Amino acid sequence: MQQLGLGIAITGSGSAVPPTALSNEQLSQIVETSDEWIASRTGIRERHVGSPELSLADLAAQAGEAALSMAALPAAEVDLIILATSTADDLFGSAALIQAKLGASRAVAFDLTAACSGFLFGLVTAAQFIRAGTYQNVLLIGADMLSRWTDWSDRRTCILFGDGAGAVLIQANERDCLLGFELRSDGTQNNCLNLAYQPQAKSVLEGVDLGQGNYQFITMNGQEVYRFAVRQVPEVIEKSLYRAKLTIDQIDWLLLHQANQRILDAVSQRLNVPPEKVISNLAHYGNTSAASIPLALDEEVRQGRVKPGDIIASSGFGAGLTWGAAIFRWGR
């Protein structure tokens, strides 16, 4: 058996979005808004939304299959599948279903929930398993269908979100391509962004009351989340760069969670990253939560813009609140 080092390499990527695109113009027929307002405040022009027949597991499996195919790794050789999602088809988890769909019969599979930071948290989790020598091939999929939980009568939130999936294959490698990271949580600000369960009292026996209810639509304090992102994201990127022993001018790409173009602009300005190094595809997809970073990465890789050896500074941020950054090299 080949002796591998305890580093990681990101060797393949894939992505998938539902076929139906919903433009700002169409949205303005649903709520009182306009293409001008949405585009100028967020940079978003359209987003993709899943039909009732489309499962999150299907979308995620499509992205996962494309990542395996790029890396030319047979599904049977995957050791671990991590599905970063907040919108699983099944609260018990959807990762095992993806394992079955891919035929990754040897892989253990679990869901990881950290909202829009899910991909970053998943990347670091995958790296820990590889660095510990436990696993060699980890398929990390970020997938979300927030359209299911969006209040389509709330113009403050329904303009932002879209559905999608992105995946990367992370493999054991002599050279460690995860150069630095920093993850954070702050539950004191939990009420800024929620997809919350609301229990209703149900008495099953005298003296035995249970809370049986439903999940409510997404609620968000947009201005608070905006301020939090612009303040915290540069800080975790700088910390990760410090750990990687790199300076910001040594990175090739800034790849942020695709929430709002104004956030991308403000963070890149604070860090002094020129616009041509900032990856942005949110005009076409909106905020796809855990999918946004791998979806954008996959597009850049397939267009040949991100090349093997390129150094990427990435950051995710969102509900929890959670946020984090990672500096990684694309390819081996």
Active site (annotated) includes residue 287: yes
Distance (Å, whole) CA 231 – CA 215: 30
- Give residue 14's identity as a one-letter amino acid code: G
Q: Is 217 in the site for ligand UT7 (CB under 6 A)?
A: no
Positions in 287-326 near ligand UT7 (CB under 6 A): 287, 318
Among 131, 156, 243, 270, binds ligand UT7 (CB under 6 A): 156
Q: Closer to ligand UT7 by CB, 33 or 280: give it.
A: 33
> Residue 171 CB, nearest distance to ligand UT7 (Å)?
29
Distance (Å, whole) CA 263 – CA 278: 12
> Residue 250 CB, nearest distance to ligand UT7 (Å)?
27
Query: 123-156 burial, b if ≥16 CB within 10 A, otherwise e?
Result: bebbbebbbeeebbbbbbbbbbbbbbbbeeeebe
Q: Which stretch binds ligand UT7 (CB under 6 A): 37-45, 63-71, 76-84, 275-283?
A: 37-45
Distance (Å, whole) CA 113 – CA 143: 11
Positions in 45-74 near ligand UT7 (CB under 6 A): none
CB 88 within 8 A of CB 215: no
Active site (annotated) includes residue 116: yes
Q: Is 184 in the site for ligand UT7 (CB under 6 A)?
A: no
Compute how many residues bind ligand UT7; rule: CB under 6 A: 19
Q: Closer to ligand UT7 by CB, 15 or 260: give it.
A: 260
CB 273 within 8 A of CB 251: yes
> Residue 71 CB, nearest distance to ligand UT7 (Å)?
28
The single residue of 116, 158, 177, 192 carrying the catalytic annotation is: 116
Which residues lie closer than 8 Å to 267 by C-beta, 6 or more apart? 229, 230, 233, 234, 237, 254, 256, 315
Instruction: Give the helix ranges, DSSP H, for the chain.
Output: 24-27, 35-42, 56-71, 95-102, 118-131, 222-244, 261-271, 282-285, 292-302
Distance (Å, whole) CA 28 – CA 131: 49
Q: Which residue is nearest to ligand UT7 (CB)?
A: 222
Q: Is 230 in the site for ligand UT7 (CB under 6 A)?
A: no
Among 26, 51, 212, 223, binds ligand UT7 (CB under 6 A): 223
Active site (annotated) includes residue 257: yes
Among 155, 184, 270, 277, binds ligand UT7 (CB under 6 A): 155
- Give residue 92's identity as a one-letter amino acid code: F
Among 4, 5, 41, 149, binds ligand UT7 (CB under 6 A): 41
Q: Which stretch binds ligand UT7 (CB under 6 A): 51-59, 65-73, 218-226, 276-284?
A: 218-226
Q: Return the structure tokens found at 3.
A: 């002796």
CB 144 within 8 A of CB 87: yes
Cα-based torsion angle of the residue sequence 239, 242, 243, 245 in order, rounded to the nearest 10 degrees: 160
Residues forming the active site: 116, 257, 287
Q: Which residues bind ligand UT7 (CB under 6 A)?
A: 33, 37-38, 41-42, 116, 155-156, 159, 220, 222-223, 225-226, 257, 259-260, 287, 318
